[in-house]
Structure 1
Amino acid sequence: MTLPFFVYGTLRPGEVNHRLFLHGRTRSEEPARLADTVLYEGPGYPYAVEEPGGGEVRGELVTALPRAYGALLAELDRLEEYAPGDPRSLYVRVERDVVRDADGAGVRAWVYIAGPDAAKRLRDAGRRVAGTEWRGRR
């Protein structure tokens, strides 16, 4: 299934992984937000952890160019250390509804959230990011 990506950390415009992975490979990048999610600090990058009623995360909804989509999906899975079906994955790629800021429309997108083991560690002993954005925290 071809879905846009919701990015909230180092893949956002102006961040290092945007230049490495997304620059020149996107059709659009629009401000958006993801509900029922909070951010935790990682070593140089954030983790989004699902928390029903817990808040929202701000980021961008990124639509890849069709010719770049397949390769980009595989590269982002590797970057995020996502292995389908493996609970030890650092992140898992899930489908979620995000809200586009421009018009309030709900859009189904891929989001990389903390994997089950990482989410448990973060909830138990992690440092939660105050607010809804990670940008500028370093």
Structure 2
Amino acid sequence: MTDPAELPFFVYGTLRPGEYNHALFLRGRTAAEEPARLPDALLYQGPGYPYAVYHPGTSVTGDLITAAPGVYRELLADLDRLEEYHGPGRPRNVYDRVAAEAHRADGSTVRAWVYLAAPPVARRLAETGLAIPGGDWRHRS
């Protein structure tokens, strides 16, 4: 049985299947990968990768990634390092890891970890960032 704390991951940028960080961090370490959407989120273009921020009424396209048996803790630590997440509320965070409800293609919802832009980054994006229309990193211009 899966530990209830072992949430799947909602990924929306370079960790999606076919993207370069998927090959580096997730290949061979997943039990399932499925399309999903994150409601109430807006996607911004970053320097080679996107940022998602909380934003009611919009959504982001991505994938739900379920870790393979036995690799969850190591994978979580690796993704935290990649996303420069140092712990809840830490000022050096580039992203914050938060639990959110993602929507599967069949309409069901699942609680998943997602990395959202940390508050200082989110404020900068709101002021000067370039939003990605439609919320899909793969269809950015």
TM-score normalized with structure 1 length: 0.95
Return structure 1 stretches of 4+ with deviation > 3 angstroms: none
- Aligned alpha-carbon RMSD (Å): 1.0
1:65-105 Cα distance to aligned partner (Å, 9 max, x none): 1211100000000000001121331100000000000x211
2:114 equivalent to 1:111 = yes
| Count of residue correspondences | 136
Structure 2: stretches of 5+ with no match in the other structure: none
CA shift, 1:136, in A, is: 4.5
CA distance, structure 1, for counterparts of residue 99 and residue 92 of structure 2: 19
Name the counterpart of 1:20: 24
Identity of aligned residues (%): 60
* In 2: Cα distance, 1:115 partner to 1:88 partner: 9
Specify the code of the residue in structure 2 equivalent to 1:73: L
Matched with 1:77 is: 80
C-alpha deviation, 1:24, in angstroms: 0.5
Aligned residues of 2:133 and 2:140 also touching (Cα < 8 A): no
Structure 1 CA distance, aligned partners of 2:118 and 2:19? 22
Q: Which has the higher strand share?
A: 2
